[in-house]
Amino acid sequence: TREFEEEFARAIGAPHAVAVNSCTAALHLALDSLELKPGDEVITSTFTFAATGAAIVHAGGTPVLADCTGDTLNLDPRDVERRLTPRTRAIVPVHFAGHPAPMDEILQIAESRKLTVIEDAAHALPASYRGRRIGTLGRLTCFSFYATKNITTGEGGMITTRDPDLAATLRVRRLHGLSADAWKRYTAAGSWRYEILYPGFKYNTTDINAALGLVQLRRLHELRAARTAHASRYTELLRDVPGLVLPSVRTDVEHAWHLYVVRVDPQQFRIRRDQWIEELKAMGIGTSVHFIPLHLHPYYRDTFGLRPEDYPVASRAGEQVLSLPLFPGMEREDVEYVAEALRTIAMRSRR
């Protein structure tokens, strides 16, 4: 695990990396380090997975959801500014699909208010923003090694930071808050004696998972190249299909291509997104939806009194997004088959 942390930190260009057993654990641990008080608010994107919002709640904060931009579906800095209050403590941008969020604007907002930026980079390995690797920008960045991610340890996560004291705190809190971890206690040079410094968590990863991670990490750029090639081919084959909105890539980023998400324009087709999913399934093509925005789910809707009209971009995108198959092992013919299936459905269902 220590070797994996060191190699990951070198690969990203971050001074410190702390391995944990999931990105959800990484987010919770990062937020826990803020020691939020009741009423403290954390702003994040509504266009994200369940873990982002839940980690804020479990760390004792109040999630404040903000809308996303229409092109990349990343956190909209203008909406973040509208939702700032004296109680705001942190901002959690989500690098949706592997496209970096507008970090300069977000960091500027944070610096002006003395807020902490914790990046949800579950999709964003390896990605870059204006020449800087994701994992080196905010105070803390959280990565995922879940089975579907760009590299995998089966289950796992990592936190990167520039702050050595913060890294040390995270290492204590990830394993029950003990002053000495198992390695220090059970080696010949170690001691059985320990102190509980904090009511910590069982968030450590295993050496078995880390061993998988080391091998995967050495293939990081090979795997990204395959994803990028498949994404480019999708764009080439689908760019002339009216009614399909393809992923937008801003010129100042390097996209990690965790997901290839198209949007189905309901004005141009007789069928809605859900029926596209069923028709593709009948043709042997598995797809998914990333994501149903948090503000549409009962917990957030009812607990915080949220309405679809408060998040016009995310609400609209949530009804249109469709994630196409994208993984390194795809053959060129697989990409072409998916694209042709989409073209067929588009032709026969056009208004």
Phi-psi region of 304 (alpha: psi -120 to 50; beta: other; left: phi over 0): alpha
Catalytic residue among 37, 114, 149, 281: 149
Active site residue 281: no
User: CB under 8 Å to 75, separation ≥6 — which residues?
Assistant: 44, 45, 66, 68, 69, 91, 93, 94, 101, 102, 106
Q: Give the CA distances from residue 332 to residues 219, 257, 314, 338, in Å, rounded to whole numbers and listed in that order.
A: 20, 16, 32, 10
User: CB under 8 Å to 33, separation ≥6 — which residues?
Assistant: 140, 166, 169, 170, 173
Burial of 247 (0-12, 13-18, 19+ CB in 10 A): buried
Q: Which residues are identified as catalytic?
A: 149
